[in-house]
Amino acid sequence: MSLDDAGFRQSSTDEDRRSWDGYVHARTVIDHEHRMIHDGMAFHVTHRVASLANGASFDILYSPPASSFPHLTALLVSLADSPCDVLSYENVVTSDDGTVLTPFNRNRNSTKTAQMGVTHSPTITDLGDLVHDRFVPDAGGPGSNSIGIITPNFGEEWILKPSTKMMTRVTNNSGGAITLTFEALWYEISYKS
C-alpha cells in the first residue's frame, strides 16, 4: 500500500480498490445481498391479479436452470382482503409452464439477465412436496370495514435447486373476489467447483 500526494491510501489490488471508499477514505463493508444488487446479479418480478375469486388459486412457477443457484430472498403477496393461504411446493411437475413474466435486474445499469424462468398460471400435473405453508389471517378484526394490504414474507432466504421447479400458490379464502399483487426478489450465483 502507498499514499498519494494528498496522503490518501493507494492500492495495487482489485480487491483493495473495491473495498476502499474514496469519499470517506475508509474500508467499507456492505451486506451480501446488497453487493449482489451492485454486481447486477439480483432480480425482481411482479404481477397483479385484478380479481381472484373466492376459493380460487393463483400460481407462480420458478424454473431454475441447471447451472445456477437462485437465492430467493423475499416473496411478498399484497392482498385486498383475507384470509388466504400461501403455500410453496418443490419438485412440481407441469404439462405447461404458463405465462412468462419478465424479471428485471435490480441494478438498472447492468446488462445481466435472469437465468431463472418465472411464469404464472402453469398447468400442474403433480404439486410435488410442500416446503412452506403460510396462513394469512383476516386482518380486519371485529367490526372492521376495510382489510387493507397484508404483506406476508416468504421466510428466510431459500436457495433453490438447479433444474427443480418450485411453485407458490396463493388461495383466496376471503369469501369474495380479491385483488392481489405478487412480488419475488432473488439473486443468482453459480458455485465453482
Domain ranges of the chain: 43-189
* Cβ-based neighbours of 8, under 8 Å, separated by 6 or more: 22, 25
* Overall average pLDDT of the 92-111 stretch: 96
How far is it, in rounded angstroms, from Cα 47 to Cα 64? 19
Q: pLDDT digits over 33-83, tens only? A: 778 888 888 999 999 999 999 999 999 999 999 988 899 888 888 888 888
pLDDT score at 50: 95
Residues facing residue 172 across a β-bridge: 84
pLDDT score at 148: 39
For 67-94, what is the HEC assignment? CCEEEEEEEEEEECCCCEEEEEEECCEE
pLDDT score at 140: 60
Tell me the whole-structure pTM to 2 decimals. Answer: 0.77
pLDDT score at 38: 80
pLDDT score at 78: 82
pLDDT band at 18 (very low <50, low <70, confident <90, very high): low
- The dihedral of CA 136, 78, 119, 50: what is its sign? positive
pLDDT score at 146: 34
Question: CATH classification of 43-189, choosing from 1.10.10.10, 2.60.120.380, 1.10.3720.10, 3.10.180.10?
Answer: 2.60.120.380
Judged against a pLDDT cut of 90, whether residue 108 lies above it is answered with: yes
How far is it, in rounded angstroms, from Cα 156 to Cα 102? 24
pLDDT band at 4 (very low <50, low <70, confident <90, very high): low
| Nearest alpha carbon to residue 70 among 144, 145, 162, 169 | 162
Q: pLDDT digits over 120-176, tens only? A: 999 999 999 999 888 877 766 444 333 434 444 545 688 899 999 999 999 999 899
Cell of 122: 402453469
